[in-house]
């Protein structure tokens, strides 16, 4: 059974990068080595893996990656810090 990983990287400029791969170690090496000069992480190295989760269905992994990419930095940090109780409130729009 193939495993797919959705991961979040902390970049040197304190931004987050979210991606998907079927080979996490290889993909981290590619990010850190600067294999692709056009990638988001190229000028933001070094990077640090701060979160990942595993999926056996690629469709679920893709959907999760797309969802996380839309999240605010605060919501990503709650996920990274296992503060799951904060996630619903961070999803709500603030009205003034």
Residue 80 C-alpha from the chain's centroid: 9
**pLDDT tens, residue order, the chain (96 aa):** 999 999 999 999 999 999 999 999 999 999 999 999 999 999 999 999 999 999 999 999 999 999 999 999 999 999 999 999 998 888 765 555
Residue 54 C-alpha from the chain's centroid: 12
Residues 55 and 11 sit within 8 Å (Cβ to Cβ):
no
Diameter over CA atoms, the chain: 49
Q: Tell me the domains of the chain and their CATH numbers.
A: 4-70 (3.40.1440.10)
- Residue showing tokens 């993909």: 27
């Amino acid at each position: 059974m193939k495993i797919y990983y959705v991961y979040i990287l902390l970049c040197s400029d304190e931004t987050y990068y979210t991606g998907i791969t079927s080979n996490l170690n290889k993909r981290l090496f590619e990010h850190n080595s600067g294999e692709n000069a056009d990638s988001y992480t190229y000028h933001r190295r070094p990077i640090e893996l701060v979160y990942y989760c595993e999926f056996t269905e690629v469709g679920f992994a893709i959907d999760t990656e797309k969802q996380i990419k839309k999240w605010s930095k605060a919501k990503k940090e709650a996920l990274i810090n296992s503060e799951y109780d904060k996630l619903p409130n961070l999803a709500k729009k603030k009205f003034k």
